[in-house]
Structure 1
Amino acid sequence: METLQSCSSDSGVGKTCVLLRFCDSAFSTTFISTIGIDFKIRTIDLEGRKIKLQIWDTAGQERFKTITSSYTAYYRGAMGIMLVYDITSEKSFDNIKNWIRNIEEHASADVERMLIGNKCDMADKRQVGREKSEQLAIEYGIKFMETSAKANINVEEAFTTLAKDIKAKIDKKSGPETAPTVIKPNKNHHEKKVSSFWSKCSLL
């Protein structure tokens, strides 16, 4: 199995809600800040293969930056990263470039990235237009999508798209005749042969 790892940006942009919506089909109006790093796992069917997604949720608060920065190996082990901002908070969008620099410093050079504008159901409070976000995505050569964890808009599509991009990159590297590669997310997982793949994704 291949592993998808996902990361997020500022606190309060809704990355934990996006994760809960995707993995548990749930949404909570109660705001609880992520402490350090948390993760969930979900297995999906993608193009006839089972893909196990290990999705990491990082804390966005300034006081947790020392915790996050100590996970250099964790960043480098990520196959995919979602950068999440809140469309009702221009500040969270402006900070995306800082998170991209953090990724460039700590993550693998070929990590798949996606820009996510969350809370698109709150159009009446929008501070960040789609065109501005699309231009930023073009500037960094990454895909962009608006989501709503509350209204369940594009959450499934965002994770599926990122997983497809990761799978395509892995398939291209391994070639059609190469057996599936097993990637151990951490020292507690033991290597074993499987027919599906394990993908590691981070929410920043």
Structure 2
Amino acid sequence: MGSDDSYNFVFKVVLIGESGVGKSNLLTRFTKNEFNHDSRTTIGVEFSTRTVQLDNSTIKMQVWDTAGLERYRAITSAYYRGAVGALLVYDISKHLTYESAERWLKELYDHADPHIVVMLVGNKSDLRDMRTVPAEEAGAFAESKGLMFMETSALDSTNVEAAFIDVLTAIHRKVASREVTRGSISAVTLSAAASRVGAEAQEEPKRCCSSS
């Protein structure tokens, strides 16, 4: 394996959605293959990275997770800055978390690049007996908004890898095609943006993650 610096692209991907839908466990399942049964509500911002081989490119994926609680929304601008992908997560057993998807989508498009790749993710598919959001309904909503769609379970790993890799593949495809067009986002631009926002995030947990 090469060193952590041996990559062609850095892509920043954000996790958004209501508190308690499992964003943090999706993050740790994808980046560390871990699941924390006692995970607490995220306070402020956390991010982890994972390097992935895609076609002939080595891509460093920087995945950001933030609190879904209203009182932490002041971090919005810095959180979305430089993001080229987003997973909009809801809990398939809690319809209210799905109903808020449209609001989260509006916030995302208000702050992020209009070409951002977005996947609607119905998490906790292991709770199928408690389902309140039919996959067909969510899939139709995603299609109407031009989003990708997948159901996942951070608990048993179902589709977690596939969700992130599909988003990564779509980002890579967009970047490759846009590099030859006017106003394109180059790999260097993406890398610099991700590195810059990453550096900003280093201090964030120290400022906002102390217990109250």
Query: Normalised by the size of structure 2, how large is the TM-score?
Result: 0.82
Partner of 2:95: 90
- 1:139 and 1:180 mapped to 2: Cα distance? 30
- 2:158 and 2:27 mapped to 1: Cα distance? 13
- 1:25 and 1:32 mapped to 2: Cα distance? 18
The one-letter code sitting in structure 1 at the alignment partner of 2:34 is A
Unaligned runs of 5+ in 2: 1-8, 181-185, 200-212
Q: Are 2:178 and 1:173 aligned? A: yes
Length, aligned pairs only: 186
Partner of 2:107: 102
Q: Are 2:52 and 1:51 aligned? A: no
Partner of 1:68: 75
Instruction: Go from structure 1 to structure 2 and tell me whether the alpha carbon gap of 1:12 and 1:189 turns closer, same or farther (over 3 Å shift).
Output: closer
Partner of 1:147: 152
Q: Is the 8 A contact 1:117 1:147 kept in 2?
A: yes
* Bigger share in helix: 2
Partner of 1:32: 40
Match of 1:138 among 143, 153, 157: 143
Question: Identity over aligned residues, as a percent?
Answer: 36
- 2:15 and 2:154 mapped to 1: Cα distance? 16
Post-superposition offset of 1:150:
0.4
Post-superposition offset of 1:32:
0.5
Partner of 1:198: none
Q: Is the 8 A contact 1:59 1:68 kept in 2?
A: no
Partner of 2:83: 78
Unaligned runs of 5+ in 1: 191-204
Post-superposition offset of 1:77:
1.0
Q: Cα deviations across residues 117-175 of structure 1 (Å, max 9, x unaligned)?
A: 00001101111000110111011011100000001000000000000000001100114
Query: Normalised by the size of structure 1, how large is the TM-score?
Result: 0.85
Higher relative contact order (CA 8 A, sep 6+): 1
Q: Is the 8 A contact 1:7 1:83 kept in 2?
A: yes
Superposition CA RMSD, Å: 2.1
Instruction: Go from structure 1 to structure 2 and tell me whether the alpha carbon gap of 1:21 and 1:188 turns closer, same or farther (over 3 Å shift).
Output: closer
Instruction: Go from structure 1 to structure 2 and tell me whether the alpha carbon gap of 1:134 and 1:152 turns closer, same or farther (over 3 Å shift).
Output: same
In structure 1, the residue corresponding to 2:46 is in which secondary structure? strand
- 1:74 and 1:19 mapped to 2: Cα distance? 15
